[in-house]
Amino acid sequence: MKITIRDVRVILTAPAGINLVVVKVETSEPGLYGLGCATFTQRWTAVAAAVTEHLRPLLVGREIDRVEELWQLMYQHSYWRNGPVLNNAIAGVDIALWDLKGKRAGMPLYDLLGGKVREGAAVYRHADATEIKAVEERIHGFLAEGVRHVRVQIGGYGGKSYENAPPPEGALAGSYFHPRQYLRATVAALEKVRGTFGPGLELIHDVHERLTPALAVELAKEVEPLHLYFLEDLLPPEHLAWFANVRQVCTTPLGMGELFSSPQEWVPLVSGRLIDFMRMHITAMGGLTPARKAAILGEWHGVRTAWHGPGDVSPVGHAVNVHLDVASANFGVQEWSGFNEALENVFPGCPQLRQGYAYVSERPGHGVDVDEALAGKFPCQAVTETWTQSRLPDGSLGRP
C-alpha cells in the first residue's frame, strides 16, 4: 500500500531571535512525518503562505516516494520559477520528503547519498570585531576549539561607519559604508592576522558583494599574497561576468553563491571554472534535490562545496548541509554559526561541533526533530531589516 501525503504544515519559530521556517509533511502512515527547512528570514511570512496556500493543495494525496517527481511538479506548477520565496517553500517540502525516505529505509541521509567519504565536516567560524585586537582574540578562541578555518571581518560587512566621509545634508538613514576605505581596512586586517597566526591558519573574508566590479577585482588581487582559503561572495549576481576579469589578474580562490536561486547563476561559473567553491543557500536553490546535483556538477569541474550556513538556517537545514558534506567527494569547508541552548531544545538532534568538525546524528533521515510545543514559545517577530538598507557615502543605496 502506497504512503501518501496527508498534510503539509508550517512551523514558525525563533529560538535564537532569528525567524525560522520549518515544513512538516505528515503522511497516511500514523506517526510518520518528515521535516524540512524553508527559512528565508527576510520574507518568512511569504514562504509560509506559499507552502500553506499553494503547495499544500497541490501535494495532499500524492505518494511520498516520488521525490524527484514532486520536486519537478512544485517547480513548474506556478509557471514562473527560480525565485527565493518559491524555492524556499519547495525546499521545505523536498527536504521533508528526503527525511521521510531515510526514515522508511532506516538509514541516515548521508547513506541515501552514497555513504560517507569522511566522518565529519571541517567548519569555518566568523571572527568579527571593530578592532583588530578583538578579532585576533576571537581567532585564538576558535583555535583552542580545534577550528582551523576562520572568516575575518573588521567592523562587520562593509567595514566600520567612516566619520571622515559624511553624507550630504538631508541624506536618509541607513547602514553606511565607504567602499574604498573598507577595501584598505580589510587588506590591512588580513595582513595583520596572517602575520600573527602564520601560514597554518586558513583565512576567509566575506565581501558580501558590496564593492563595484572594478574594486572587487582590485581587492582580489591585493589579497593574493596572503593565500586566502577563499574570498567569499566577491561580486553580486548582477555582475557574474566580472569573475572572468578576476581570473585574468590573480589566483585568489573564490567562493560564490549565497544569493543564487537559479541554475543559470551557478552553472556557468562552475562549468567555466570561474569559482573554486560553490556556497549556495540550499533552501534558496530549492532543497536537497538540486543541491546534490550541483555538488556532482562541481565535482566534475574541480569546484568544491562550502554551503551557506548562517544563523538564518534552521538546525534542519544545517543537518542537511553536513549530510551532503560527509557524502561529497568535493567538499571543501562548512560555514558554521552554532546553536544556542534554546535551539538545541526546540530541535533535538542538532549537528554537533567537536574539535573543528561538524557531526550529524546517526538516526534515520537527517536526524533532527522538533518540539512543536516548545517552538511555539519562541514566536517569530515582524521586523524591518536595517542592515539590508545599505548606503554609500553620498547617501545613495548600495547593495548589501
How many other C-beta atoms lie within 10 A of the C-beta of residue 104? Answer: 17
Pairing label, strands 254-256, 277-278: parallel
Helices and strands per DSSP (H, E), number in the chain = 14, 15
* 194's grid cell: 596572517
Helix, strand, coil shares of the chain, percent, nearest 5, are: 40, 20, 45
* 212's grid cell: 563595484
CA 319 remoteness from chain centre:
12
Spell out the residues 6+ positions from residue 170 whose beta carbon is closer than 8 angstroms to its own: none
Element containing residue 246 per DSSP (H, E): helix 243-249
Catalytic residue numbers, as ranges = 157, 208
- N-terminal to C-terminal alpha carbon distance within the chain: 51
How far lies 53's CA from each of 59, 86, 95, 191, 194, in Å?
11, 12, 19, 52, 52
* 16's grid cell: 535564537
Taken as a whole, the chain contains a residue count of: 400
Residue 55 near residue 246, CB atoms below 8 Å: no
Which is nearest to 34 in space by CA: 74, 94, 106, 89?
A: 94
Spell out the residues 6+ positions from residue 1 whose beta carbon is closer than 8 angstroms to its own: none
Which is nearest to 393 in space by CA: 191, 158, 222, 106?
A: 158
- Coil vs helix vs strand at 388: coil
- Coil vs helix vs strand at 146: coil
